Amino acid sequence: MIGRYAVRFAALGYLTLLLALPVGYVFWRTFRHGFWPAWHAVTTPDALHALKVTLILAGIAVPANTIFGVLAGLAIVRYRFRGAGVFNAVVDLPLALSPVVVGLALLLLYGRGGWLDGHHVVFALPGMVLATMFVSLPFVVREVVPVLREVGTEQEQAASTLGANAWQTFWRVTWPAIRWATAYGVVLTTARALGEFGAVSVVSGRLAGQTESLTLYVQDRYQGFDEVGAYASAVVLALIAVTTLIVMTALKPKKEAR
């Protein structure tokens, strides 16, 4: 009996110290001078532009990685090609790789003197988009693959023998099975894309009003001793994170119920 309370106390205490308190503190620091200073801080042209850049980065990376995720899931599970194992491992690489290294790799590839030099990729939005795509790549795949494995091919085979072509089979049979897993993966991808810092930092060039994402903006404000600006931008990101959380929570039972 005591054991139950001990575990509960320990677990909740750990969560409070590590999560709730710090995040609550940031909200407090942001609004302690009132709402309007914080509001003004996040509606400056630079801040709004940073938000726009972040949304563009996510707006490209997320759909691209979603389509890739579904295709790759199908490829890995349904089509036993040679090298599927390696393919699977490479997909997981972005999870293990430090973001700074990702940025460095992109610089070495597209920067001056690199293999693909001269295409205005780095120090411009394309480079930042590529960095974001890299780091948020695995999530949809990882959600879709287990589902595809579990669901099995019986229904698809039945559809095929009944005369359905590949697209019809996918749309009518496969997609309904994986759509909630895909949605969940999309949410994770979005969260990752919005929050990316390290890789984007290396390739951005920090052009004011042009290549600063919101995460970079947080660092910039912090370094300029603009406490309100830094924390307010952090709060914007945190609110987006919380929204993501809510959507994730709503989708989970659907994903698991399938």
Partner 1 sequence: MAARAEPLPGRAQAAPALAVGVSTLYLSVVVLLPLAALAWHAHGWSSISSPEAVAALKLTLLLSLVVAVINAVAGTAIAWTLVRDRFFGQSFVNALVDLPFALPTIVAGLVLLTLYRDLAFTRWGILAALLFVTLPFVVRTVQPMLLELDTEMEDAAASLGASRLATFRRVILPTILPAILSGVALAFARAIGEFGAVVLISGNLPFKTEVLSVYVFGRIESGDPGGAAAASVAILGISFAVLLAIGGLRRLVTRHDR
Partner 2 sequence: MRRISRCLLLALAFPALAAGAARDTRLALVAYSTPKDAYAQLIPAFQKTPAGQGVSFSQSYGASGDQSRSVVAGLPADIVALSLAPDITALVQKHLVAQSWNQDKYHGMVTRSVVVFVVRDGNPKHIKTWSDLVKPGVQIVTPNPFTSGGARWNVMAAYGGALRAGRTPKQAQAYLAQMWKHVVAAPASAREGLQTFLAGRGDVFLAYENEAIFAQKHGQPVQFVIPKATILIENPIAVTSGSQHKQQAQAFIKFLRTKPAQRIFAENGYRPIIKGVTQGLSFPVRPQLFTIKYVGGWQSVEQKFFDPHTGVMAEIIGSNGG
In the complex, minimum distance from the CB of residue 34 to partner 1, in angstroms, rounded to a whole number: 19
Please say which residue, 44 or 219, places its beta carbon nearer to partner 1. Answer: 219
Give the torsion through C-alpha atoms of 99, 102, 103, 105, to 10 deg: 160
Separation of alpha carbons 24 and 22, rounded Å: 5
Please say which residue, 15 or 207, places its beta carbon nearer to partner 2. Answer: 207
In the complex, minimum distance from the CB of residue 164 to partner 1, in angstroms, rounded to a whole number: 9
In the complex, minimum distance from the CB of residue 221 to partner 1, in angstroms, rounded to a whole number: 10
Separation of alpha carbons 233 and 48, rounded Å: 10
**Where does this chain bind partner 2 (CB under 8 A)?**
107, 111-113, 117, 122-123, 205-208, 210, 222-226
The one of partner 1, partner 2, none whose footprint includes residue 122, by CB under 5 to 8 A per kind, is partner 2
- DSSP string across 117-173: TTSS-TTSHHHHHHHHHHHTSHHHHHHHHHHHHHH-SHHHHHHHHTT--HHHHIIII
The one of partner 1, partner 2, none whose footprint includes residue 210, by CB under 5 to 8 A per kind, is partner 2
The one of partner 2, partner 1, none whose footprint includes residue 117, by CB under 5 to 8 A per kind, is partner 2
Residue given tokens 């054991």 in the structure block: 3
In the complex, minimum distance from the CB of residue 77 to partner 1, in angstroms, rounded to a whole number: 5
The one of partner 2, partner 1, none whose footprint includes residue 232, by CB under 5 to 8 A per kind, is none
- What SS3 state is found at 33? coil
Please say which residue, 127 or 185, places its beta carbon nearer to partner 2. Answer: 127
Q: CB–CB of 112/120 below 8 Å?
A: no
